[in-house]
Amino acid sequence: MPVNLTSPVAARLLPVAGVFLGITEANIKREKRKDLLVMQLSEGSRVAGVFTQNRFCAAPVIVAREHLAQPDGIRALVINTGNANAGTGEQGMRDARTTCAALAGLLGCKASQILPFSTGVIMEPLPVGKIAAGLPGCVANMRADNWFDAAHAIMTTDIVAKAISKQVIIDGVTITITGIAKGSGMIHPNMATMLGYIATDAAIAQPLLQQMVGAAANRSFNCITVDGDTSTNDALMLIATGQTALPEVNDANGTAFTALQAAVTEVAIYLAQAIVRDGEGATKFISVQVGGGRNEAECKQIGYAIARSPLVKTAFFASDPNLGRILAAIGYAGIDDLDIAALKLYLDDVLVSEDGGRAASYREEDGQRVMGQSDITIRVVLNRGAALATLWTCDFSYDYVKINASYRS
């Protein structure tokens, strides 16, 4: 069950002026399941995104990158679940283009103004006929207040839908930001079987929009791991429709940009953490804070060694304070000149280790108490600099194995 994560309340998800969402059941992998989403954008909307760095990236990722580079402006996104259209070679590329062309025909725009996204099983042909047959249903269903259904339509092994809205007032103008995401397994940065879509009604200049989505991803989706597997299909898209009275944001040092960046990052962090809380088989949500490092990179390197260790994760599943496994992970993280005698390890507020061994003040019952919680922070203080990184992960349970052993059945 998801760890301290409840389903979003439909009434709290705010429409974003200029974004319309249509959902249908296209029977892509299973019957009677919302599995196809179209997000239509008003003219003049801008879109920026970050994509997986997997060399085996999926056909829709390649096509979406191509289309984003065109000057005409994006008018719609089409997202299917049930099939990733990854590892599908040239046929996969043709299928992604066919999907775009079919939707463009319905919306009266160019195929290059459509961004395609797919998530689901890898290396099986995309059922492009079913998708094309479903698109008119999406178009007929198009509404501004469809975010709740949209969040459900992109789920695969997710148990809970992930969506949030936030408003900020900038120069007296209320700006709305609404985001949805999916992901539960194959989660590791750069990025994971993760799809995220965040839209705002503010107007943001294109280069700043790209900067904003990159910065938000680095503090959110690039700070999570469930199983260390980086997916072929990950994408985080940031949409700015420019449908409010606020003038276009075009100064990266201005207060409007700063306020928007903070709000977008906050939405992205909520969604990224929700993915970990809903991590496959998760029973605990674990924050890994590594501080006192020479730079952020080494903090993340140590954090990920801890966060992806199956031994650490099974110990947390068992609520067993077998905390030497955390020391072992720190030790093999690859920091060659790390002085283990200088570092301190805390579990929430409990000092576990210092001087290269167990802290004199540490008592097993204190470790046991923290281990019994569902939200736990592992804190490592390296004492060799001022840099800091925080990552989020979950524990590793029987159900992770069960879910992934039966994924295709």
Smallest separation, CB 281 to a second copy (Å): 9
Q: Can residue 89 be called a binding residue for a second copy (CB under 8 A)?
A: yes
Smallest separation, CB 140 to a second copy (Å): 33
Q: Can residue 158 be called a binding residue for a second copy (CB under 8 A)?
A: no
Q: Can residue 82 be called a binding residue for a second copy (CB under 8 A)?
A: no
Query: From CA 222, how far away is CA 215, in angstroms rounded?
Result: 10
Q: Can residue 398 be called a binding residue for a second copy (CB under 8 A)?
A: yes
Q: Which of residues 291-310 bind a second copy (CB under 8 A)?
A: 308-310
**Could you confirm whether 178 is annotated as catalytic?**
no
Q: Can residue 381 be called a binding residue for a second copy (CB under 8 A)?
A: no
Q: Yes or no: say if 64 and 116 are a contact pair by the CB < 8 Å rule.
A: yes
**Could you give phi then psi for residue 214, rounded to 5 degrees?**
-65, -45
Q: Can residue 57 be called a binding residue for a second copy (CB under 8 A)?
A: yes
Q: Can residue 314 be called a binding residue for a second copy (CB under 8 A)?
A: yes
- Candidates 107, 338, 342, 388; binder of a second copy (CB under 8 A) is 338
Of the residues 52, 99, 119, 193, only one is catalytic, namely 193
Whole-angstrom distance between the N-terminal and C-terminal Cα of the chain? 21
Q: Which amino acid is at 146?
A: N
Residues in contact with 3: Cβ distance below 8 Å, sequence separation at least 6, in sequence order: 277, 282, 283, 284, 285, 374, 375, 394
Q: Can residue 278 be called a binding residue for a second copy (CB under 8 A)?
A: no
Q: Yes or no: say if 274 and 181 are a contact pair by the CB < 8 Å rule.
A: yes
Residues in contact with 254: Cβ distance below 8 Å, sequence separation at least 6, in sequence order: none
Site size for a second copy (CB under 8 A)? 70
- Candidates 53, 167, 174, 255; binder of a second copy (CB under 8 A) is 53
Please give the angle made by the CA atoms of 42, 20 and 160, to the nearest 5 degrees: 140
Provide the token pair at 379. Answer: 């804190």
> Quick one: DSSP state of residue 380?
E
For a second copy, the closer of residues 35 and 395 by Cβ is 395
One-character DSSP codes across 140-186: HT-BTT-HHHHHHHT-SS-SS-EEEEEEEEETTEEEEEEEEEE-SSS
Q: How many other β-carbons are positioned within 10 Å of the β-carbon of residue 121?
A: 16
- Candidates 10, 27, 42, 56; binder of a second copy (CB under 8 A) is 56
Q: Yes or no: say if 175 and 244 are a contact pair by the CB < 8 Å rule.
A: yes
Q: Can residue 324 be called a binding residue for a second copy (CB under 8 A)?
A: yes
With contacts defined by CB under 8 A, name the span among 19-27, 138-146, 374-382, 400-408 that binds a second copy.
400-408
Instruction: Find the Cα–Cα–Cα–Cα dihedral 332, 333, 337, 342, rounded to 10°.
Output: -90
Smallest separation, CB 48 to a second copy (Å): 23
Q: Can residue 328 be called a binding residue for a second copy (CB under 8 A)?
A: yes
Please give the angle made by the CA atoms of 328, 334 and 335, to the nearest 5 degrees: 100
For a second copy, the closer of residues 162 and 308 by Cβ is 308
With contacts defined by CB under 8 A, name the span among 128-136, 143-151, 184-192, 288-296 that binds a second copy.
184-192
- Candidates 87, 136, 137, 214; binder of a second copy (CB under 8 A) is 87
Q: Can residue 241 be called a binding residue for a second copy (CB under 8 A)?
A: no
- The site for a second copy (CB under 8 A) is made up of 53-57, 84, 86-92, 121-125, 185-186, 188, 190, 227-232, 308-311, 314-315, 317-318, 320, 322-325, 327-333, 335-336, 338, 340-341, 353, 355-358, 396-398, 400-402, 404-409
Active site amino acids: 193
